[in-house]
Structure 1
Amino acid sequence: MGTAQKAVRGFALDIGSSRTRVWAPGAGVLADVPSGPVRRGRVTDATPHQRLLRRVADTAFGGALDETVVMLCHPVLAGPAEREETRRMVAGLGAARVVSVNSARAAAAYAGPSGGGPLLVVDLGAALTEVTLLVDGVMQDARLAEIGLDDLAEPGASPGVVVHTAAELVRELWREDTTGAVRGALGRGVLVTGGGALRLDLTGRLALRLGARLRLANDPATSTVRGAGLLLSSALRHPGGGPRRP
């Protein structure tokens, strides 16, 4: 008789400036809690996040992560050093494999199929505003500003600040685009995600500023981690998508 193989498990992880979310196939959202020390999308202290993930592992996986694959979301313009630091933090828990995906691709995966071609993803987050141009699911260009919903809590702050920022980031992409992809993406409709997608005072103004139809992500606050979960499920089904030691 052959030796029985262990079932490969996994979860998706999105460490946002405001919330940290964990999603697992067959279980859905396992955690949706305030983030530990995070500054404008950058983890400044790994310890609280490791404790959270350890609690999730204990509850969902019996504490063992040696046969677990983690799909880790990161801001679209996170640098190699930043991505590697966060990856090491997660790998330090004993995960067999850590795979990274940018937040725009993850959000687009959750939005569902809309055919190939160009897609603009606008992420109105708590501490960051990100605009990404995807073509056939691959990131072609992106812009980021360290302005988000949390800044609207400042005295005298207006929603127009976030709207203006997002519109200017789109215009920057358009000015640098030599292929017509941005124009095509605007014609197809702009995917808006993040907590700001729930605010009509932002999305209504943004649609007017861009002169484009907006597609609001379903459950936009968790669309990134859910999309990463879908990509994880696909990776686990693919030959060779199981665990490998990082």
Structure 2
Amino acid sequence: MPGHGLVTDPLLSSDSPLDGDAERPVRRGRIVDPEACGRLLGRIADAALGPDRTDSVIVLSHPVLAGAGHRNAARELLAGLGPTRVLVLSSARAAAAHAGPRDAGPLLVVDMGAELTEVTLLVGGRIADARQAETGLSDLDPETLPATLVRTVVDMVMSMWRQDRHGAIRGALRKGPVLAGGGALRPDVTDRIARCLGTPVRPADDPSTTVVRGAGQILSSVLRHGVTPAASLSGRPR
């Protein structure tokens, strides 16, 4: 929350329902245990919103290529918390809101998380193309992590380059990709990506929280102006 920072994170709390051997209810960006996820969201809402949810707005960010079924499942859980509105946007859109330039040109967002690696091309704030690998930092051998992760990212960028008919990837690479997620904290990864792509890279400020802070910025804008931002919040590639 503006002026307050992180209000609550049940996954880090000593009284978290996920203590011990319990499985996390979200895996690879998908809700795998709706009941446990609902309880977790309820704890967050109680701490951040209190019992009266009137005029409250919740913003949900999801992996770029999350299917409609997964997005709808998340919407239903959030609707059960009683907010007035629920805004849904992709994680790349959220990262761009926090770390990317404010112009309407092409932007490449590389998100290297614990369980997913995503590369997204945004043009004018809208998703033009995206790739996803269901592997992340937690899956890779520490000794081979830099080489494997960089190869995964570069392969996805090159795949997008081959299908780019309008030069958007070239324009985005000239600016330099924005790097988010825990992988962006590793110079052995970021330096290799820069060398392989032949362009400077821009690790986001505190990349592990770039997505949630970008979502917070969009939420603040919506609350301040009372309208949904012009950029698509659906997260569906065009």
Do both proteins adopt the same fold according to a TM-score greater than 0.5, normalized to the shorter chain? yes
Task: Report the alpha carbon displacement of residue 102 of structure 1 after superposing the two structures with TM.
Answer: 0.3
Q: Quick one: which of 43, 65, 75 aligns to 1:77?
A: 65
Contact 1:126 1:148 in 2 (8 A): yes
Q: How does 1:24-173 map to 2 (within 5 A)?
A: 24-34=1-11, 36-153=24-141, 157-173=144-160
1: CA distance between counterparts of 2:225 and 2:102? Answer: 23
Superposed CA deviations along residues 44-102 of structure 1, whole A, max 9, x for unmatched, are 01233322322222223222223211110000011111111111111111122111010
RMSD value, Cα: 1.8
Matched, 1:223 2:210: yes
Contact 1:159 1:201 in 2 (8 A): yes
Which structure shows the bigger proportion of residues in strand conformation?
Answer: 1
With the length of structure 1 as denominator, give the TM-score of the two structures: 0.82
1: CA distance between counterparts of 2:120 and 2:67? Answer: 15
Q: Which amino acid is the alignment partner of residue 35 of structure 2?
A: T
2: CA distance between counterparts of 1:153 and 1:50? Answer: 33
With the length of structure 2 as denominator, give the TM-score of the two structures: 0.85
Contact 1:54 1:63 in 2 (8 A): no
* Unaligned stretches of 5+ residues in structure 2: 12-17, 19-23, 229-238
SS of corresponding position for 2:165: coil
The size of the alignment, in residue pairs, is: 217
Q: Relative to structure 1, is the Cα distance of residues 157 and 147 closer, same or farther in structure 2, using a 3 angstrom cutoff?
A: same
Task: Report the alpha carbon displacement of residue 118 of structure 1 after superposing the two structures with TM.
Answer: 0.6
Q: Relative to structure 1, is the Cα distance of residues 31 and 153 closer, same or farther in structure 2, using a 3 angstrom cutoff?
A: farther
Superposed CA deviations along residues 105-159 of structure 1, whole A, max 9, x for unmatched, are 10011015342201100000101110000112111110001111011247x6432
Contact 1:120 1:186 in 2 (8 A): yes
Q: Equivalent pairs: percent with the same residue?
A: 53
Task: Report the alpha carbon displacement of residue 206 of structure 1 after superposing the two structures with TM.
Answer: 1.1
1: CA distance between counterparts of 2:123 and 2:145? Answer: 33
Contact 2:97 2:215 in 1 (8 A): yes
Aligned residue in 2 for 1:6: none
